[in-house]
Amino acid sequence: MIINLSLDPLPRYAFVSKYINHFFAGDIMIEITILLNEEKLGLYALQGTSKLSKFKVHEMLQKLIFLPPHYIIATSQKKSLLYLWNMSQDSSVQKYVLPGLPLTVAASPCGTYIAVGIDNTVRFWHLPSGQLVKSVSGHYQKVSSLVWSFDGSLVISGGHDNNVNVWEVHKLFREDSSVSPLYTFTDHSMPVTDIYCGLGGFKSRLFTSSLDNTCNIYELCSGKIMLSLEIPAPIFKLLVNRCESMLYAVSVSTEVYKVSLVSPPNNDVSKQMKVFIKCPNKITSCCLTDEDSAIILGSSQGDLIKYSSSTGQVLPFSFKSRSPVDDVLSVTLPSYKRNDKSVPFPYQQPLQRVVTGVLEECSLHLQPRHQPIQFVSNSEFLDLVKEAVAEEKGADNVSELKDKIGELSALSEQLVKFASDQLIGS
């Protein structure tokens, strides 16, 4: 079945470039691959094929996510536990006890909040304080996948009940006891396996996959389905490049299928679609590199292979472990953060089990370069900018003023712009 409601090419290169520059500006970047398997230590960080770190854990883990600015979260397969590692300190492990077995987990773009799927509920925690902000039950069966939008305004959940729910964050964090999803999509006929939310917040596109051999694309501003692709095999993972011009559907067996979203098919795609990548063994995990130039596949035999995302050819990168690769993640980090042993662990509070009320003001997670992590609010940051401007109003040395602005920009360029607009307006 093909439903095509005028899926236009996505000219979002300016927005993508702005996002990448804001996140990675001014640092020497290195690409790190995080490998999760059942070997003794469980978690490896790789630069190329060289091992950078081993994170000690004597537990079978399943889901792996990146928590900005340089933390890794993993969920336990058999226990109600959540683990958090500091990428710059191999021995720094924080263990959280949850009220139930975590099925999936997702972190907000700022790294302050996490959403955890437990049974048929989605629970939201504020990590710095450990406060349980909200618990919502929007599915009739277990939650299978969770994702935040890139601007943090939406949370999307998929479940074994075949449904996809879109939640508005500003409504979730209110005092109201009951919250209904903005949309509930019921187009899949089997459990939802993966979700990807594109750039643009409410104007973004939502990609979903299911065991019913379909990948659906929705327009969030209207809540309408734009395209439904029928894939020759059941899908367990979706990979979409940042410009949303290419979709890679990873099957539950050994195949990867490639679909162009710039010129999507108009007829029976399941008959004409060819296998783009054929993995030697069953695929158990996959990811796109940060530059979208390669696809990394982990197999049931412990192989980790990198393929070109444009040609499907094997690239000179390989890693072999003695057990299946449960999850893999590719992140790009500043080199100083990986080597900085003085960075403290900010998440020391245990996660609460009962909702105690909504936070009065959402704190912003800021990481000053070469300085300890701080948690400040909008008003506090604006006061810092006003104080700096007041001190430098009579300065004759222009370089001193530039240094002050540089220090504030290191905290957050977006907030510097916000504060500047507030000052100019006043």
Reply yes or no on whether the pLDDT at 364 is more than 80. no
**Are residue 219 and residue 321 in the same domain, yes or no?**
yes
DSSP one-letter string for 302-336:
SEEEEEETTT-PEEEEEEE-SS-EEEEEEEEEEHH
What pLDDT shows up at residue 122? 95
Average pLDDT over residues 352-380: 50
What pLDDT shows up at residue 192? 96
**Are residue 185 and residue 325 in the same domain, yes or no?**
yes
The answer to the question of residue 366 being in a domain is no
Residue that terminates a domain, selected from 286, 319, 339: 339
What pLDDT shows up at residue 316? 82
Whole-angstrom distance, CA of residue 48 vs CA of residue 45: 10
**Are residue 216 and residue 309 in the same domain, yes or no?**
yes
Domain count, the chain: 2
What pLDDT shows up at residue 183? 94
The answer to the question of residue 97 being in a domain is yes
Q: What percent of the chain has pLDDT over 70?
A: 62
Residue that terminates a domain, selected from 311, 339, 367: 339
Task: Convert the pLDDT of each residue in 106-150 to its tens digit.
Answer: 999 888 899 999 999 999 999 888 899 999 998 999 999 999 998
The answer to the question of residue 370 being in a domain is no
**Are residue 57 and residue 188 in the same domain, yes or no?**
yes
The answer to the question of residue 356 being in a domain is no
164-168 β-sheet, strand order: 143-148, 154-159, 164-168, 183-185
**Are residue 52 and residue 180 in the same domain, yes or no?**
yes
Task: Convert the pLDDT of each residue in 368-406 to its tens digit.
Answer: 333 333 444 555 555 665 665 565 455 455 566 566 666
Binning pLDDT at 50, 70 and 90, where does residue 42 land?
very low
39 CB neighbour count, 10 Å cutoff: 15
Whole-angstrom distance, CA of residue 131 vs CA of residue 356: 7
**Are residue 16 and residue 141 in the same domain, yes or no?**
yes
Q: Measured between alpha carbons, how far is residue 72 from residues 69, 137, 331 in Å?
A: 9, 27, 10
DSSP one-letter string for 20-81:
HHHHHTTS-EEEEEEEEESSSS-EEEEETTEEEEEE---S-EEEEEEETTTEEEEEESSSSE
The answer to the question of residue 371 being in a domain is no
**Are residue 62 and residue 130 in the same domain, yes or no?**
yes
**Are residue 53 and residue 153 in the same domain, yes or no?**
yes
Provide the domain limits for residue 335: 3-339
**Are residue 266 and residue 398 in the same domain, yes or no?**
no
Whole-angstrom distance, CA of residue 286 vs CA of residue 294: 11
Q: Are 225 and 205 in contact (CB under 8 A)?
A: no
**Are residue 318 and residue 384 in the same domain, yes or no?**
no
**Are residue 327 and residue 393 in the same domain, yes or no?**
no
37 CB neighbour count, 10 Å cutoff: 24
**Are residue 260 and residue 385 in the same domain, yes or no?**
no
The enclosing domain of 125 has a CATH number of: 2.130.10.10
The answer to the question of residue 51 being in a domain is yes
Main-chain phi, psi angles of 354, to 5 degrees: -125, 140
Residue that terminates a domain, selected from 310, 339, 368: 339
Reply yes or no on whether the pLDDT at 366 is more than 50. no
The answer to the question of residue 156 being in a domain is yes
Whose structure tokens read 């530059």?
291
Whole-angstrom distance, CA of residue 12 vs CA of residue 277: 27
